[in-house]
């Protein structure tokens, strides 16, 4: 029986990365949240593809990583329809570009972008007799996250459709600017517009 000590495992911060890191590169254990209402619904895990294990289960979508949910949104329209691996490649390339542009982790940038693009108010239509009246209502936290991801995906599609800008470049730009609360971005602009209409319907 050999008395040699086993080789030390590769640390999580090494160049090779760790299996517990997202895409083998980014640590998700130190992500911080600024919005307590959506924190429960912005789940961050190192698993970017769960093979649909939460499909057809009501409210189980919030257990998915927000990275996978973003990829799912990206593959709902355009040339990426139904192409999960292609969407994950776009997200991974966007994260690489974000990593080069800013000092923060791309995962942290994504969380901040979702928090900033999540609308707090929206309008519903109430019928009184034959009259339809708009009414402002608060948005549930889970729906806030859903809407934010929708706005980000729509912004990426509008910026990259019939354009020289690739989808990954458009996603990186959308996330970085949304994390900075730039109202010129599609996602934050849509959120502001939705809240403006709701404020007028109070």
What pLDDT, in 10s, does the model give residues 170-184? 999 999 999 999 999
Spatial distance between the Cα atoms of 123 and 103, rounded to a whole number of angstroms: 38
**41 vs 53: which has the higher pLDDT:** 41
Percent over 90 (pLDDT), the chain: 55
The C-alpha atoms of residue 101 and residue 180 are separated, in whole angstroms, by 13
The count of structural domains within the chain is 1
Residue 70 lies in a domain: yes
In whole angstroms, give the CA distance from residue 47 to residue 63: 11
Copy the structure tokens of residue 45. 């895990």
- pTM of the predicted model as reported, rounded to 2 decimal places: 0.84
Work out the mean pLDDT of the chain and round it to a whole number.
Answer: 85
Residue 121's H or E segment, with its range, is strand 121-128
Answer yes or no: is 20 within a domain.
no
Top-ranked range on mean pLDDT: pick from 71-75, 156-160, 191-195: 191-195
User: What are the backbone angles phi and psi of residue 7, rounded to the nearest 5°?
Assistant: -65, 140
Report the percentage of the chain scoring pLDDT > 70. 87
In a domain, 22, yes or no: no
**CATH code of the domain in which 143 resides:** 1.10.455.10
How crowded is the C-beta side of 46, counted as CA atoms within 13 Å?
15
Q: Is the pLDDT of residue 83 over 70?
A: yes
Q: Which domain holds residue 132?
A: 39-200
Q: Is residue 75 assigned to a domain?
A: yes
pLDDT value at residue 56: 64
User: Which tens digits make up the pLDDT trace of 7-51?
Assistant: 444 343 444 455 578 888 888 888 899 999 999 999 888 888 887
Element (H, E) at 156: helix 141-160
Give the integer Cα–Cα distance in Å for 112 and 148: 11
Phi/psi for 58 (5° steps) reads -60, 130
Does residue 14 form part of some domain?
no
Residue 3: pLDDT above 80? no
The pLDDT score that the predictor gives to residue 80 is: 75
For residues 55-73, average pLDDT: 82
pLDDT number for residue 7: 46
pLDDT for 55: 65
Q: Is 136 part of any domain?
A: yes
Domain assignment present for residue 29? The answer is no
Lowest-confidence range among 4-8, 10-14, 98-102, 156-160? Answer: 10-14
Tell me if 120 is assigned to some domain: yes
**Per-residue pLDDT for 65 more than 70?**
yes
């Amino acid at each position: 029986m050999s008395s040699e000590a086993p080789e030390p495992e590769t640390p999580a911060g090494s160049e090779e990365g760790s299996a517990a890191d997202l895409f083998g590169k980014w640590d998700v254990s130190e992500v911080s949240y600024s919005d307590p209402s959506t924190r429960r619904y912005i789940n961050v895990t190192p698993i970017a593809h769960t093979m649909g294990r939460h499909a057809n289960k009501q409210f189980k979508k919030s257990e998915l990583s927000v990275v996978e949910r973003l990829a799912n949104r990206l593959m709902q329209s355009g040339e990426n329809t139904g192409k999960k691996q292609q969407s994950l490649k776009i997200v991974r390339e966007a994260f690489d570009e974000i990593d080069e542009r800013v000092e923060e982790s791309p995962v942290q940038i994504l969380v901040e972008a979702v928090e900033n693009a999540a609308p707090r108010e929206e309008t519903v239509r109430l019928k009184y007799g034959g009259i339809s009246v708009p009414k402002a209502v608060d948005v549930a936290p889970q729906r806030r996250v859903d809407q934010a991801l929708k706005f980000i995906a729509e912004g990426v599609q509008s910026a990259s459709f019939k354009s020289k800008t690739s989808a990954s470049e458009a996603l990186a730009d959308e996330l970085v600017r949304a994390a900075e609360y730039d109202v010129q971005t599609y996602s934050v602009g849509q959120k502001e517009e939705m809240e403006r209409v709701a404020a007028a319907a109070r």
